[in-house]
Structure 1
Amino acid sequence: MSSDSLVADQTDHPGEKIAVVAAGAIPWRIKKDRLEVLLIHRPRYDDWSWPKGKLDPGETVPECAAREVEEEIGLRAPLGIPLPPIHYHVPAGLKVVHYWAVDVDGAALRPDGKEVDSVMWCAPEKAAALLSNPSDRTPLEHLVAAHARNELHTWPLLVIRHAKAKPRSSWSKAEGDRPLAATGTRQAQAVGRLLQAWKPPRIVTSPWLRCVATVAPYAKAADAKVKLNESLTEHLHGRSPHKTANVVEALFDKERAVALCTHRPALPTVFAQLGRHMNSRLRALLPANDPYLTPGEMIVCHVSHTKGKVVAVEQFRPFDD
């Protein structure tokens, strides 16, 4: 999934330019062994819907979804698996709304009272009947199907290529000390904002300065634990790529959200190891050609708690200079 799609890819609107981009989520929980989803009521429209809203300037789609969920129902929770976007026409033209699943996980909800005056937990079947916009049933159906396959309860594993560094040709000191360029510093800030959508509590990174500086804004803002691993550097990967693969494999052991930051030459090894934990359809979504990711770009793998396998893959570039 790209964060900068401007053309509809649905058969209902082939090639039509998108005029309005929005994002939101379907909050869910398990109560008495049954799946429930959260509908919101918007007094302005007198409708039942999911938390969602339009992108702010400079905002990525995941950031928008996380922000809207917090603003409308007071929930600060990481995004789960992506759900199919919906397309429909508004006065400005074609509108697309990107959706994610969000596990409420027992958190208290606080509707803002203005945009959302009430919420309702209900079974998916009841929600489908109450939704005012029939298009909103599409992401709901996907969420229900994912639950049936044990692919709804997941944790995110994120892979980040470090932000843009100063050119090698203009750096005469130790390679590990080569810092970010001015563009890279701005990219690192954007990476930090985007990571808030998944809120990983730990980061595993190459100890080289350009990687550490890329994850530093997020680590500071989120008080995330940072672990430096030499096997993620260019030099050690070149000598022992299997050790880089072992670092990736170890991320699956703890079954909780984590971000990994490394260098372009190590990315093929990282993706190959990730590919061992997913089916062929998802493996085809992983970058296969050099440079694999642009500086500051990231891959998000959603890993099923039940299956221990990657069940969804996303790709985002948070900053373009």
Structure 2
Amino acid sequence: MAPSRYEVGDPEADRPIAVTAAGALCWRREQGQLEVLLIHRPRYQDWSWPKGKLDPGETTPECAVREVREEVGITVRLGIPLPAIEYKVPSGLKIVHYWAARAGSMTVKPDGKEVDRFLWCTPARAFELLSNPSDKETLEKLVAADELSNLATWPLIIVRHAKAKPRSSWTRAEGDRPLAATGRRQALAVGRLLQAWGPKKVVCSPWERCVQTMLPYVQGNNAKLKLVDAITEHNAARKPDKAKGIVEKLFDKRVSVAFCSHRPVLPLAILVLQLHMSGRLAENLPATDPYLAPGEAIICQVSSKHHGRIVSVEQFRAYED
């Protein structure tokens, strides 16, 4: 089973981490054989995974996707999270967060500076070439996930809308209450964060604050937007089973999707998610009000082979400038 992962704001705020980095184990299948992408770094004369340090104002998922793009010239979407590794560097402790990322038949183009060569190879060959023992531990987890049919997945993402104007200061229809200035900045950050998983479809409450939260992502990524009345605050309170049914339907088409609604609707969505995962994994879902902060998201990876089975859970809050 893939691990759960949670990150809010600075992911290592309560730990003495000197350097935070992120990367990905890119994988593909060639004639049914699992292959992984190794990079060669001339500076260190070693074989490793694409990775690098966070830029200011960047979350670890965004960093992982950017580093793969910069170092090997391909844009990936993140799959299951893999265990982070920690090791000592001159400035202190460094932590590197990793994800699996399916690369398929993409053409790899090393940048020539940080990376001068690349190699698609079997996991067995990768174990022989990897220079850092901790990189081999991460590979072991990826291979184990593949053996359990947990490697090929698609993302289902639950988003709470960004910060709205206070109810006390709004005199018009509740469905028209928009985002506050802070919320508009959060919406831009949510749009950047979601690109790490690239949902093709967005299912959203038609109330203004939800639509405004998702529009930066929808417009910047040509995602399909579907507005659903059943998941507004009022309708979900009157007919909770119908709202839960909308969440259940997200599993049917097996297409990457983001679902955006209101704080009172979140426990209904979480109840549905629980039915699709093991009890142990479900323990990592938020269990108390407010469940998610404004603009925060739960990312579930759903097995492509076993219909409706969630194999990993992550929780992220988009960076606010």
TM over 0.5: yes
Cα shift at 1:33? 1.4
**1:300 paired to 2:310:** no
Residues 235-283 of structure 1, C-alpha deviation per residue, up to 9 Å, x if partnerless?
0000001111111111111101000000000000000011111000111
- Number of corresponding residues: 314
- Contact 2:185–2:320 (8 Å) recurs in 1: no
**1:203 paired to 2:207:** no
TM-score (norm 2): 0.96
Inter-partner Cα distance in structure 1 for 2:262 and 2:127 = 45
**1:6 paired to 2:5:** no
Residues 55-107 of structure 1, C-alpha deviation per residue, up to 9 Å, x if partnerless?
00010000000000111111112100000000000111100000000101211
Once the two structures are superposed, the pairs formed by residues 150-161 of structure 1 within 5 Å of their partners are 150-161=149-160
Map of 1:11 onto structure 2: none
Inter-partner Cα distance in structure 2 for 1:319 and 1:133 = 31
Cα shift at 1:2? 2.5
Paired residue type of 1:301:
C
TM-score (norm 1): 0.96
Runs of 4+ with >6 A deviation: none
Inter-partner Cα distance in structure 1 for 2:280 and 2:320 = 28
What secondary structure, in the 3-state scheme, does the structure 1 residue paired with 2:11 have?
coil
Inter-partner Cα distance in structure 1 for 2:11 and 2:110 = 30
**After the TM superposition, which of the residue ranges 125-134 and 180-189 deviates more from structure 2?**
125-134
Indicate the structure whose relative CO is greater, using CA pairs within 8 Å and at least 6 residues apart: 2
**1:30 paired to 2:34:** no
Inter-partner Cα distance in structure 1 for 2:235 and 2:138 = 43
Map of 1:10 onto structure 2: none
Map of 1:313 onto structure 2: 313
Q: Point out where structure 1 has 5 or more consecutive residues left out of the alignment.
A: 8-14
Map of 1:259 onto structure 2: 258
- Contact 2:189–2:320 (8 Å) recurs in 1: no
Cα shift at 1:34? 1.4
Paired residue type of 2:6:
S
What secondary structure, in the 3-state scheme, does the structure 2 residue paired with 1:163 have?
coil
- Contact 2:206–2:228 (8 Å) recurs in 1: yes
Map of 2:186 onto structure 1: 187
Identity between Structure 1 and Structure 2 (%) = 60
Provide the alpha-carbon RMSD of the alignment: 1.1
Map of 2:164 onto structure 1: 165
- Contact 1:296–1:319 (8 Å) recurs in 2: no
Cα shift at 1:320? 4.6
What secondary structure, in the 3-state scheme, does the structure 2 residue paired with 1:2 have?
strand
Paired residue type of 2:12:
L
